[in-house]
Structure 1
Amino acid sequence: MRWKIPAGALIALAFLVPAAPAAAQFESPGLDAACQTVERKVYQDVRKLVAVDLDTPTDQEIRVLTAQLLHTANVDKLTVLQGVIDKQLKGTPEELRAFLKKDVPNVWMVDLRIKVGQSMTGAGVNVKNAAQVTLDNGSLDALLAYLNDGVYTARELDCASQPTPTPSVTPSVTPSATTTDAPTAAPSTSLAAAGGEGGGLPLTGANTATVVSVGGALLLLGGTGFLIGRRRRSRFVA
Structure 2
Amino acid sequence: MRWKFPAGALIALALFIPAAPAAAQAASPGLNAACQTVERKVYTDIRELVTIDLDTATTVQVRVLAAQILATANKESLPVLPDAIQDKLDGTSDELRAFLKSDVQNAWSVALRISVVQTLTDAGPNVKEAAQKVLDAPSIDTYLAYLNNGLYEARALDCASQPTPTPSATATPSATPSGTPTVAPTATPSVSSGAAGGNGGGLPVTGANTLTVAGLGAALLLLGGAGYVIGRRRRSRFVA
Alignment TM-score, normalising by the size of structure 2: 0.74
Is the CA contact (8 Å cut-off) linking 1:15 and 1:71 kept in structure 2?
Answer: no
Judged with a 3 Å threshold, the aligned counterparts in structure 2 of structure 1 residues 215 and 10 are, in CA distance, closer, same or farther, namely closer
Is the CA contact (8 Å cut-off) linking 1:30 and 1:38 kept in structure 2?
Answer: yes
Matches within 5 A, 1:83-232: 83-169=83-169, 185-186=187-188, 190-193=206-209, 203=210, 208=214, 215-232=220-237
Q: Encode CA deviations 1:121-176: one digit per residue, 9 max, x unaligned.
A: 110000010000011110111100000011000000011111111122266699xx
Could you tell which deviates more after superposition, 154-163 or 62-71? 62-71
Q: Which amino acid aligns with 2:230?
A: G
Match of 2:43, SS? coil
Alignment TM-score, normalising by the size of structure 1: 0.74
Is the CA contact (8 Å cut-off) linking 2:80 and 2:110 kept in structure 1?
Answer: yes
Shift in Å, 1:109: 0.4
Q: Which amino acid aligns with 1:226?
A: G
Bigger radius of gyration: 1
- Equivalenced residues, count: 209
Alpha-carbon distance between aligned partners in 2 of 1:115 and 1:229, rounded to the nearest angstrom:
130
Is the CA contact (8 Å cut-off) linking 1:78 and 1:111 kept in structure 2?
Answer: yes
Alpha-carbon distance between aligned partners in 2 of 1:141 and 1:156, rounded to the nearest angstrom:
22
Judged with a 3 Å threshold, the aligned counterparts in structure 2 of structure 1 residues 104 and 216 are, in CA distance, closer, same or farther, namely closer
Q: Encode CA deviations 1:156-200: one digit per residue, 9 max, x unaligned.
A: 0011111111122266699xxxxxxxx96446974544xxxxxxx
Query: Do residues 55 (structure 1) and 83 (structure 2) align?
Result: no
Q: Name the structure where helix makes up a greater proportion of residues.
A: 1
Runs of 5+ in structure 2 lacking a partner? 1-7, 175-184, 191-204
Alpha-carbon distance between aligned partners in 2 of 1:10 and 1:117, rounded to the nearest angstrom:
32
Aligned Cα root-mean-square deviation (Å):
3.3
Runs of 5+ in structure 1 lacking a partner? 1-7, 175-182, 194-202
Judged with a 3 Å threshold, the aligned counterparts in structure 2 of structure 1 residues 52 and 212 are, in CA distance, closer, same or farther, namely closer
Q: Encode CA deviations 1:18-46: one digit per residue, 9 max, x unaligned.
A: 59976x82311000011110000000001
Alpha-carbon distance between aligned partners in 2 of 1:9 and 1:168, rounded to the nearest angstrom:
60
